[in-house]
Structure 1
Amino acid sequence: MKKNHVLSLGTTVMLTLTLVLSGCNAKDSSGLKDIKDRGKLVVGVKYDTKLFGLKDTASGKVDGFDIDMSKAIAKKIFGDENKLELKEVTSKTRIPLLNNGDIDLIIATMTITDERKKQVDFSNVYFKAGQSLLVKQGSKIKGLADITKDTRVIGVKGATSIKNIEDKVSGLSVLQFENYQEAFTALKAGKGDVLTTDNAILYGMSKQDPGYTVVGGTFTDEPYGIAAKKGNTDLLQVVNDTISELKDNGQYAAIYEKWIGEKPSAD
């Protein structure tokens, strides 16, 4: 009887541990089947990036290029673009939120890099950008050649643009902010001479305030990808299929022109 009692107790403990671990892992499940069972796709997007993901403080609505891509993927999975939940991310928080299971995908002006490929799996490129500079109208800074180690440069934490420009200008130190709106506010307050990130994001800022302009062309290639947790090949396949279909049926060009104001390049 004692032996059976011990076995029964051991079985109960093991069962309890299994249930606890299953509960812990439930949040981490973000494969295609889990998403379908849940009944909605959860996507991490930016709320502070005009043209790609910007929240209207009055209505609470978030709009932009990345939002339209999110809707298209939700429609591909469910046949209904409204089966979608958007969660705010920043350049610093997006990968932790993905790998913690808080979101299923990152669609947030995220450049594909070898370093990030160690942490997440990327889709095919869905947007081609390049790093540039934003300055106040009339600034003496006209391009990268005008940046010196004494130039007050502003950037955003977690963005590849900071390392890129530090690599280009020896001894440069970049003042870093949590998000793009904070960075742009700092530029307008005179805390820096120039703000640097992808040109597509900077064009959005210049549309917000015509007193600021994008200069110097681009000095890097910044291919944006949609990120999923490593190993979620079924979900990533749906994402890639969606990108291909949008390009084939002309919807991608329509989304691009809607937000960027011109047709995408042929390549």
Structure 2
Amino acid sequence: MKAFVPRAVVALTLVVSGAGSGIALAQPGGTLEKVKSSGVITVAYRDSSIPFSYLDAEAKPTGFGWEICGKIVDQVKKATGRADLKVQTQSVSSQNRIPLLANGTIDIECGSTTNNSERAKQVDFAINYFYTGTRLLVKADSGIKSFADLKGKKVVSTTGTTNFQVLRRLNQEKSVGFELISAKDHAESALLVQAGRADAFGMDDILLYGLKASSANPAELAVVGEALQVEPYAIMLRKEDPAFKQLVDGVLTQLIKSGEFEALYKKWFQSPIPPKGINLNAPMSRELQDNLKALSDKPAL
């Protein structure tokens, strides 16, 4: 993970690791204290959350969120005085990511986790770094163009996601009449549609574009329907760990203010990406543009 040491974050590091160390590292059970003591930080990744966090052709983690995590790790090394810090990686799923963070198995998750009020009871989130909404991945010739076309259809979504809950609520409140099933991860959900075992996959639209682009035949798939809601993604941290949140927010803030965040966005959302060199062509949303000024960690409801 390439080092990145902007001036503002160096200033933050001095607060964390220098004269202010009594504030930052004396937090009982805090992440910085844990990492300083153990000499290890465990960074969580997702197997198929393209382009945020996923496995490349060599089965190594990569992506927009993963790259930002690398810059955070560089600052953790400086804040803890552990230039020898060992970086361990851990694959997580929608179901186990929060428990593994809470019990200390992982220290940070840079993937595609929605920052919402319910999860905020269990974990903390850094500044929101993406905004998305629930749409549908279908076969291009399916005839499905909107959520209203799902009557009598089988819809899959990934277990443990807010999207599954949103779809279940839609079905109940609007009596759409589709059968909702679950899959263990995004890749399996997409495969169910490709294999004809599900008619649609309901998920965050940016993840659907990533899965479509990385499929064997992208032209046979389509992303359809108006977004049901707009929700933010954010890096997930342990709850009540202000020193670590300050460090992570500091890195994000400097990336944003320096222009490097926008460069990373263009790299992962508007340029050819591995493993197939396909361009997602996903311009920055108005919500994200606004938050690059607001620097808010406000959760979805």
Which TM class, normalised by the smaller chain length?
A: 0.7 to 0.9
Aligned to 2:129: 126
**Aligned residue in 1 for 2:214:** 208
| Mapping 1:50-129, distance limit 5 Å | 50-56=50-56, 59-78=58-77, 84-129=87-132
Is residue 2:188 matched to residue 1:177? no
Which residue pairs with 2:45 in the alignment? Answer: 45
User: Match of 2:118, SS?
Assistant: helix
Output the amino acid matched with 2:166: N
Distance 1:62 1:221 in 2: 27
After superposition, the C-alpha distances for 1:66-117 in whole angstroms (9 at most, x for unaligned) are 2112111112222579853221000001011111110111222110111111
Distance 2:38 2:99 in 1: 21
SS in 2 for 1:113: coil
Does the Cα contact within 8 Å between 2:65 and 2:110 map onto a contact in 1?
yes
Question: For residue 109 of structure 2, what is the amino acid of its counterpart?
Answer: I
Change (3 A) 1:136 1:81: farther
Could you say what secondary structure the match of 2:54 adopts?
strand
What is the CA–CA distance in structure 2 between the aligned matches of 1:260 and 1:142, rounded to whole Å?
24
Deviation at 1:144, TM superposition (A): 1.9
2:155 is aligned to: 153
Are residues 1:198 and 2:204 paired? Answer: yes
User: Quick one: distance in 2 between partners of 1:246 and 1:260?
Assistant: 17
Q: Read off the aligned partner of 1:235 and give its amino acid letter.
A: F
* Counterparts of 1:30 and 1:106, CA distance in 2: 16
Query: How far did 1:29 drift?
Result: 4.0
Deviation digits for residues 192-222 of structure 1 (CA, Å, limit 9, x no counterpart): 1000110110010110121211112422112
The 8 Å contact of residues 77 and 85 in structure 2, kept in 1 or not, is answered as no
1:200/1:29 Cα in 2 relative to 1: closer, same or farther (>3 Å)? Answer: same
The count of aligned residue pairs is 238
Shift in alpha-carbon separation, 1:81–1:67, aligned structure 2, 3 A: farther
**1:140 alignment partner, SS class:** coil
Relative to structure 1, the CA distance from residue 82 to residue 189 in structure 2 (aligned partners, 3 Å threshold; closer, same or farther) is farther
Match of 2:32 in 1: 32
**Matches of 1:84 and 1:213, distance apart in 2:** 38
Looking at structure 1, the residues matched to 91 and 258 of structure 2 have their Cα atoms a distance apart, in angstroms, of 30
Q: Percent same amino acid among aligned pairs?
A: 32
CA–CA distance in structure 2, aligned partners of residues 60 and 144 of structure 1 = 35
Structure 1, unaligned stretches of length 5 or more? 1-27
Q: Can you give the 5+ residue segments of structure 2 that lack an aligned partner in the other structure?
A: 1-27, 271-281, 291-301
Q: Say which is worse superposed, 79-88 or 252-261, in terms of deviation.
A: 79-88
- The Cα RMSD (Å) is 2.1
- Correspondence for 2:278: none
In structure 2, what is the Cα distance between the partners aligned to 1:229 and 1:191? Answer: 38
For 1:204 and 1:40, locate their aligned partners in 2 and report how far apart those are by CA, in whole Å. 31
Specify whether residues 51 and 141 from structure 1 end up closer, same or farther in structure 2 by C-alpha distance, changes over 3 A only.
same
Larger radius of gyration: 1
| Alignment check: 8 A CA contact 2:130 2:232 kept | yes
Are 1:252 and 2:251 an aligned pair?
Answer: no
Residue 146 of structure 2 is matched in structure 1 by 143
Distance 1:256 1:125, change over 3 A: same
Partner of 1:242: 251
Q: Which residue of 2 aligns with 1:166?
A: 168
| 3-state DSSP of counterpart to 1:214 | strand
